[in-house]
Amino acid sequence: MSAYGGGRAPRLLRPARQETYEKLFSTVYVGLMINVLLAVTCAPLLAALAIVKDPLASWPFFAVLSLPCGPALAGAFGCFAGLVEGSTDVLRAFWCSYRRAARQAFLLWAGGTAAVSVLVVDMAAVTPTGWGPALVPFFLTVSALVVTVVLAFLVLLAEASGPVRLRPLMLPCLYLVVRRWYLSVLDIAVLGLAVSVVLLKPVAGIFLACSPLLYVVWATTRFAVAPVLSRHRQET
């Protein structure tokens, strides 16, 4: 007789239920498809990254090429929202969120990119001065706030059923990302890791690492701005 009684296999060695395997393969499929769609929508940026050896030396050029990333992220966030609700129709979810949020996400990303660029230039200009090092934390903090608010708006745009008035939501989103600063720090760290991976290995980074890292960013940002998201759904 087996030590586990009655000759039965240990519980830990029993095969998982079929639904578990289906959910696992569906999640992997959604992640891979999101990576492919991100690669297609951000193709000019990826092509430039694959050609240029030192992207940081030409960062203004890459800042302009990154503008399609706003609508692309909105599309990816829409897929994540659909996955949570049990949908695996990646192409439809991505395209619907992309098309619906394209204009606002593009302008939002452009504004955020311009703001962060100005802050980086100002920080580089004042650093060599006497009081420059003392101002570095200020510039870094403001840049982080800009990035987290942009991410919050992209999450809202991805799940909205129509156009979103962003101006009335500015202060509530800013308040929530500051209040839940630990989530904002996590977002910045994970997003920085995703950018670093793509900069080092553009093709491998976009096809393998993007969707899991962006899912973490989406999930934490969505939790941080949950009150605004819930109120917006009630109003619409």
Place 180 in a pLDDT band, splitting at 50, 70 and 90.
Answer: very high
* Structural domain count, the chain: 1
Residue 122 belongs to a domain: yes
Listed in sequence order, the residues at least 6 apart from 20 whose beta carbon sits closer than 8 Å to its beta carbon are: none
Pair 142, 194: CB distance under 8 Å: no
Residue 212 belongs to a domain: yes
Write down the pTM of the prediction: 0.85
d(CA 134, CA 145): 18
3 state DSSP class of 14: coil
Largest CA distance in the chain: 80
Residue 10 belongs to a domain: no
d(CA 151, CA 105): 10
Residue 40 belongs to a domain: yes
Residue 93 belongs to a domain: yes
Residue 2 belongs to a domain: no
Residue 195 belongs to a domain: yes
What integer pLDDT is reported at residue 191 of this predicted model? 93
- Residue by residue, DSSP assigns 59-113 as HHHHHHHTTTHHHHHHHHHHHHHHHHTT---HHHHHHHHHHHHHHHHHHHHHHHH
d(CA 127, CA 109): 27
pLDDT of 3 > 50? The answer is no
pLDDT digits (tens, 9 = 90+) for 44-89: 998 898 888 888 888 889 999 999 999 999 999 999 988 877 777 8
Q: Which domain holds residue 38?
A: 16-235
Cα angle, residue 220 at apex, residues 138 and 141 outer, rounded to 5°: 0
Residue 105 belongs to a domain: yes
The conformational region for residue 36 under phi > 0 = left, psi -120 to 50 = alpha, else beta, is alpha
- Average model confidence (pLDDT) across the chain: 85
Listed in sequence order, the residues at least 6 apart from 74 whose beta carbon sits closer than 8 Å to its beta carbon are: 97, 98, 101, 102, 105, 154, 157, 158
Place 13 in a pLDDT band, splitting at 50, 70 and 90.
Answer: very low
